[in-house]
Chains A and B, each alone.
Chain A
């Protein structure tokens, strides 16, 4: 018997997603025809440019720098957010103490953070990584704290009775219980992190995808701009569909079995 969740992600839903992709491509083609090649590259020109771009050193150099920044920035941001979230979930005083900082970071426009980071770190990787960490950590923190406060108190009591140590509690109680908020936060952080890194690179870096995009824009090379956009979208798709969604499915395997 299929569950409701399985039905929602079944072949029908995938078919509609494919139709959605085709509609976006059609809309893009119509817009490109209407605006002309100076303002918007067509899907065909963009995809034709993909293969030569992928094999060029220009792509490899910039993409590898950006990937490194995304990995370090998102990784550190999520780790810091998670650790602080777990601690704050246990301690109301720490939660209160961190609340103003959380609010400031979440309310501050990313461009302001980029400007301040450039002022403090100059151009380059430290600035990009710093601002990515600063922007990614609060989201992970909020989701972790919320998840921690919703962990079943009965199970917490049970782990106390059976004298689980801190590590066992984290591994067997908190991490599995936090699967839903954590994977959602990871997804938002990873996809948001890509956007944040590219934006920071556009504004103040000497290498990376954002830097290449800024260069292409300065010489009005629309095809290159759209090719980079497609590559960034592909990267986000790989993070979401190849890494995070299978991880999410694996961690929620126990929910897929119906009660007898």
Chain B
């Protein structure tokens, strides 16, 4: 369980999260929406352990939280397969097993043939698929997605979104996902939360029971985002 109790985060004199309380249970999938600078990424970074709150209480019992960034963040000097193997080795996996696991996930994202290539030889979409494969290979118990598809074209967004949905369906892991697209978000989450000036505005989970309700919910979120 990831829990924030009256947490505040400040960068200099700017308060990014203001006495915010939030909880995410094991296996729960939550979407985060909000305008740029609202504090969504800060929330994700708290969950990933990259940030500590200035005040309030943070508790995180997830053992293996993995954050997928907006950009792929691959090591440019290591071949694609090594970019997946190295974190697996850091997790304690044997060398052969890590290569096998990396190969499996590269196959799943359709990049088996790119295993020996350098990240610089990949297109943006391919590199982001490798980043997703790296995250999935780690078998996270909490998956944190920070607009991982925002820089991709609509076709690629759809195919990677599909891949993500399949993964989440098969492995019921907890997820916090940021997106600027409410329609995309309501499809893959149990509930959505709107982040506004460092505070949260929840949307009831009952609203996401069927397709029509999801669409209405997405429209409502979209209208709220437009202000």
- B87 on the interface (CB 8 Å rule)? yes
Taking a contact as CB atoms closer than 8 A, the residue among A163, A176, A257, A260 that contacts B90 in the complex is: A163
Instruction: Check if B86 sits within 8 Å of A168, measured CB to CB.
Output: yes
Instruction: Check if B123 sits within 8 Å of A154, measured CB to CB.
Output: no
Q: Tell me the complex Cα distance, A97–B66, Å.
A: 37
Instruction: Check if A254 sits within 8 Å of B73, measured CB to CB.
Output: no
Taking a contact as CB atoms closer than 8 A, the residue among B66, B77, B87, B117 that contacts A164 in the complex is: B87
Question: Which residues A220-260 have CB closer than 8 A to chain B?
Answer: 251, 254-255, 257-260
Instruction: Check if A260 sits within 8 Å of B77, measured CB to CB.
Output: no
- Known contacts: A154-B73, A172-B75, A176-B77. The answer to whether A162 contacts B120 by CB under 8 A is no
> How many residues on A have C-beta within 8 angstroms of the other chain's C-beta atoms?
23
Cβ–Cβ < 8 Å partners of A107 in chain B: none
What is the 8 Å Cβ interface bit string for chain A, positions 155-177, against chain B (1 contact, 0 not)? 10110111111001000110011
Instruction: Check if B73 sits within 8 Å of A158, measured CB to CB.
Output: yes
Consensus secondary structure, chain A interface = helix
Instruction: Check if B123 sits within 8 Å of A260, measured CB to CB.
Output: yes
Which one of B49, B73, B78, B122 has the greatest number of beta carbons of chain A within 10 Å? B73
Q: Tell me the complex Cα distance, A260–B73, Å.
A: 18
Instruction: Check if A260 sits within 8 Å of B121, measured CB to CB.
Output: yes
Nearest CB on A from B227, distance (A): 31
Instruction: Check if A255 sits within 8 Å of B66, measured CB to CB.
Output: no
Question: Which residues B26-58 have CB closer than 8 A to chain A?
Answer: 48-50
Nearest CB on A from B60, distance (A): 13
Cβ–Cβ < 8 Å partners of A259 in chain B: 120-121
Nearest CB on B from A33, distance (A): 52
Nearest CB on B from A244, distance (A): 18
Instruction: Check if A257 sits within 8 Å of B73, measured CB to CB.
Output: no
Give the nearest-CB partner of B124 in chain A. Answer: A259
Instruction: Check if A255 sits within 8 Å of B89, measured CB to CB.
Output: no
Instruction: Check if B75 sits within 8 Å of A173, measured CB to CB.
Output: yes
Cβ–Cβ < 8 Å partners of A254 in chain B: 76-78, 118, 120
Cβ–Cβ < 8 Å partners of A179 in chain B: 77
- B95 on the interface (CB 8 Å rule)? no
Q: Tell me the complex Cα distance, A257–B69, Å.
A: 25
- B130 on the interface (CB 8 Å rule)? no
Instruction: Check if A155 sits within 8 Å of B75, measured CB to CB.
Output: yes
**Supplied contacts A162-B138, A164-B90, A254-B77, 10 more A-B pairs, CB within 8 Å:** A155-B73, A161-B50, A161-B67, A164-B87, A172-B86, A176-B78, A177-B77, A257-B118, A259-B121, A260-B122
Nearest 5 A/B pairs, CB to CB: A162-B87, A176-B77, A158-B73, A254-B77, A254-B118
Could you list which residues of chain B lie within 8 angstroms of chain A, going by C-beta atoms? 48-50, 65-67, 69, 71, 73, 75-78, 86-87, 89-91, 117-118, 120-123, 134, 138
